[in-house]
Amino acid sequence: MLFKATNKILLLLMIVLLVMITIVPAPAAHAEADKPVRVLLLYDSLAKGTTKSGNVEALQHVLAAYSVAVTLQSYDNYKQGDLQQYTKVIGIHNVPDIAITNQDFVRDFTQYRGSYLHIGTNVPAMVQSKLNLQTTQVNEDTFKLSIDDFSQQAIQTEVLTYITAHGGTPYGLISSRSGRQSPFGVGHDGIAYVPYFEKGNLSELAIGYVLRDWLGWTQQSNTYVVFKEIYPFSDLERLEQLSDELYEAGIPFVVSVRPIFINLDYPATKRYFETLKYVQSRNGNLVVNVPEISAILSPLKRDLNNSFEMFIDAMVKQGVAPLGFGAEMYWTYDQYFTNSGLGLFDTAILFGNEEIKHKEQAYTSKSYPSTLYSVQLDFLEQFEYREKALTDFPMNTAITFNFNDNGQELNEAVKWLRDSWVTFADLKYGDHSVVTQANKIRSSGGSLYINDQLIDLASAREEVSEEYEYKPKEQKSFERWFNVQNKVFIVIILVTIVAFGGFFIIGHRLYKRKYFK
């Protein structure tokens, strides 16, 4: 009996041990899965002053939409062993006559076994071999590029590389006036090649299709409409009118609003929040735009994280629930910005860079679980569409408009949105969150929650009183005594004036009598 009991105890211990072995590694595996994909982006030249200028930055912008952490590095600055730290590497070659002379990279690349995407000239032998690739260069002046439902005519070039043979999956189509055709890019088993890529034309969008498969991105993409450059002193009545027009047209939208870091209790600020609450009730979604860079780089040494938290908490107090932030793409390559303030968000709308002003530049980007790639209307107007009803772009994309006081421009924007046949997504149907020390804001399934309490989007607006003491009154000594004294002086002056008037009338009459005598 004792032997049987001992066996049962040993059996139970073995079962418990097996269960622990099975369960314990799960959190570690989950944590590993939550880490963003890391990509090493190498370039030979930024090609400034040429048609390829800006294509490295454009590639960084597209990559961010796939929530990857990108490390940017030139071939000249490559150090031995860097390549082996990555499973995905992109090489972009802008200048045909620049060969890679960094022997550390040359040696490491022969040992590299991860995924590799090559863009431009000087195709490595490994890429040619694995894709069974054959190419030819042709002098062209213009060509047509087509991919999915999009096409663009008369893209200018001087020399174009055509893919004449390959053993991979083709992406898009390049066509010349002479009838020559070539895939825009090809890929197979983690190796991909794109011969042509420039900023500002359809190739910027087309490379998104290649990257989606190369990165193994499986999430469904959506298209959003975003209005930015909204300030407390903007025409808030026009913003409400715009919200009504889009609501009546059945178009969900996003507004990226500039924050306020001082005077959060002023009536003007509260009216700003009440307008944003109205926008929220008209199927609008809110994100916090990063502040003007001059305010951050000023000598005031502002605590950006604390300032963001105060602004968001003030919004929450008024029933307003932001779901992310909007910023120029370079903000994600700055250690100070990403560690101060932007860590409160898990959703980003990244606009194209206009003026880069780093505080602590970093060469590895911070990624966000949900990131929207931003394009403006003039970019899309270059393209022709095969179908009237457009399919979604390869990555989550925001069609962005600047909000201003020009009623005609806003009317034209609304008209384009109504006529575009694009199915716009509602941001709050995704899972987004903003967390401060005092509040947690999240969205799910079309609903908004503040501290796990469902927000009533149709709640009534609060009227904001105009009577407000903008500057506290100072304590004044003897104020009551001086008021009494002033009143006494006023009475004395009035009595004096009346007496003087009486003496003047009497003197005038006496003078007249003397004259008549």
pLDDT 10s digits, 108-131: 999 999 999 999 999 999 999 999
Structure-token pair, residue 76:
């000249």
- Strand runs labelled E in 189-343: 191-194, 223-230, 253-257, 284-289, 322-328
Write down the pLDDT at residue 302. Answer: 67
Q: What is the mean pLDDT of the chain?
A: 86
- Give the model confidence (pLDDT) of 287-322 as tens digits: 999 998 765 655 555 678 899 999 999 999 999 999
8 Å CB contact between 403 and 230? yes
Q: Is the pLDDT of residue 23 over 50?
A: no
Structure-token pair, residue 57:
């930055």
8 Å CB contact between 278 and 314? no
Strand 453-454 relative to strand 142-147, pairing = unpaired
Angle at 179 between CA 177 and CA 180, to 5 degrees: 105
Write down the pLDDT at residue 471. Answer: 47
Write down the pLDDT at residue 14. Answer: 54
- Give the model confidence (pLDDT) of 171-186 as tens digits: 999 998 888 999 999 9
Residues with Cβ within 8 Å of residue 403, at least 6 apart in sequence: 227, 228, 229, 230, 234, 239, 242, 255, 410
Write down the pLDDT at residue 385. Answer: 84
Q: Is the pLDDT of residue 362 over 90?
A: yes
Strand partners, 162: 136
Q: What is the mean pLDDT of residues 345-371?
A: 94
Q: Is the pLDDT of residue 255 over 90?
A: yes
Write down the pLDDT at residue 487. Answer: 78
Write down the pLDDT at residue 475. Answer: 52
CA distance 205 to 203: 5
Write down the pLDDT at residue 18. Answer: 46
Q: What would you report as the CA-atom Rg of the chain, rounded to the nearest whole angstrom?
A: 34
Write down the pLDDT at residue 389. Answer: 67
CA distance 215 to 187: 11
220 φ, ψ (degrees, to nearest 5): -70, 135
Structure-token pair, residue 177:
């006036």
98: exposed, middle or buried (Cβ count in 10 Å: 0-12, 13-18, 19+): middle
% of the chain exceeding 90 in pLDDT:
66
288: exposed, middle or buried (Cβ count in 10 Å: 0-12, 13-18, 19+): buried
Write down the pLDDT at residue 3. Answer: 42
**Domains of the chain by start residue, with CATH:** 37-214 (3.40.50.880), 223-454 (3.20.20)
In Å, what is the CA distance from 130 to each residue of 49, 115, 116, 118, 374?
A: 34, 12, 11, 12, 34
Q: How many CB atoms lie within 10 A of CB 381?
A: 8
Q: What is the mean pLDDT of residues 349-366?
A: 94
Of the pLDDT bands very low, low, confident and very high (cuts 50, 70, 90), residue 133 is: very high
- Give the model confidence (pLDDT) of 208-222 as tens digits: 999 999 999 999 999
Of the pLDDT bands very low, low, confident and very high (cuts 50, 70, 90), residue 512 is: low
8 Å CB contact between 377 and 414? no
- Strand runs labelled E in 292-450: 322-328, 347-351, 370-376, 384-385, 397-402, 432-435, 440-444, 447-450
Helix (H, G, I), strand (E, B) or coil at 102: coil
Q: What is the DSSP letter of 295?
A: H
Residues in the chain: 517
Q: Is the pLDDT of residue 7 over 70?
A: no
CA distance 347 to 241: 27
Residue 501 or residue 214, greater confidence:
214
Of the pLDDT bands very low, low, confident and very high (cuts 50, 70, 90), residue 257 is: very high
Q: Is the pLDDT of residue 243 over 90?
A: yes
Q: Is the pLDDT of residue 104 over 80?
A: yes
Sign of CA dihedral 40, 41, 44, 45: negative
Q: Name the one residue in this structure whose structure tokens are 């989007």.
A: 457
Q: Is the pLDDT of residue 501 over 80?
A: no
Q: Is the pLDDT of residue 346 over 50?
A: yes
Q: Is the pLDDT of residue 462 over 90?
A: no
- Give the model confidence (pLDDT) of 410-452 as tens digits: 999 999 999 888 889 999 999 999 999 999 999 999 999 999 9
Q: Is the pLDDT of residue 34 over 90?
A: no
Structure-token pair, residue 365:
């980007």
Q: Is the pLDDT of residue 49 over 50?
A: yes
Of the pLDDT bands very low, low, confident and very high (cuts 50, 70, 90), residue 41 is: very high
Return the biggest CA–CA distance within the chain.
Answer: 156
Q: Is the pTM of this model over 0.75?
A: yes
% of the chain exceeding 70 in pLDDT:
84
Write down the pLDDT at residue 206. Answer: 97
Q: What is the mean pLDDT of residues 238-256?
A: 96
Q: What is the 3-state secondary structure (H, E, C) of 401-439?
A: EECCCCHHHHHHHHHHHHHCCCCCCCHHHCCEEEECCCC
